[in-house]
């Protein structure tokens, strides 16, 4: 007499889990590769722009900013507390 052959459920479950993990790893890898390539393309496009007015504006502003680093940070914090949290005026003086 032939013995009935049953399904090997643990092998089927293991194969399904391993297959799912492999598919998830491949999908994540493709997504990561896409993100890297997109970032590289975006950086390349930004580098190709010859005239960037924002850079020239930033450079001009950096030249006009005067930063007095001789004031210790503690003194500056006490000055702001004394003035009720108001910062010194940042409007340029005329003349």
Residue 51 covered by a domain = no
Residue 73 covered by a domain = yes
User: Does pLDDT of 95 surpass 60?
Assistant: no
Q: How many Å apart are CA 13 and CA 86, to the nearest integer?
A: 67
Residue 83 covered by a domain = yes
Q: Give Dmax (Cα) for the chain.
A: 111
Overall domain count for the chain: 1
Q: Which domain holds residue 83?
A: 59-90
First to last CA, the chain: 111
Give start and end residues of each alpha helix (H) in 1-95: 9-48, 53-64, 73-82
Average pLDDT, integer, range 80-93:
74
Residue 48 covered by a domain = no
Q: How many Å apart are CA 25 and CA 28, to the nearest integer?
A: 5
Average pLDDT, integer, range 13-42:
97
User: Does pLDDT of 34 surpass 90?
Assistant: yes
Residue 33 covered by a domain = no
User: Does pLDDT of 39 surpass 80?
Assistant: yes
Residue 72 covered by a domain = yes
pTM (predicted TM-score): 0.46
pLDDT tier at 14, thresholds 50, 70, 90: very high
Residue 78 covered by a domain = yes
pLDDT of residue 27: 98
pLDDT of residue 67: 66
pLDDT of residue 66: 67
Residue 68 covered by a domain = yes
């Amino acid at each position: 007499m032939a013995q009935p052959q049953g399904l090997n459920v643990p092998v089927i479950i293991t194969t399904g889990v391993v297959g799912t993990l492999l598919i998830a790893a491949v999908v994540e890898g493709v997504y990561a590769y896409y993100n890297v390539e997109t970032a590289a393309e975006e950086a390349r496009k930004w580098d190709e722009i010859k005239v960037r007015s924002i850079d020239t504006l930033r450079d001009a502003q950096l030249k006009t900013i005067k930063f007095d680093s001789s004031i210790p940070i503690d003194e500056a914090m006490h000055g702001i507390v004394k003035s009720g949290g108001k910062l010194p005026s940042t409007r340029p003086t005329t003349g």
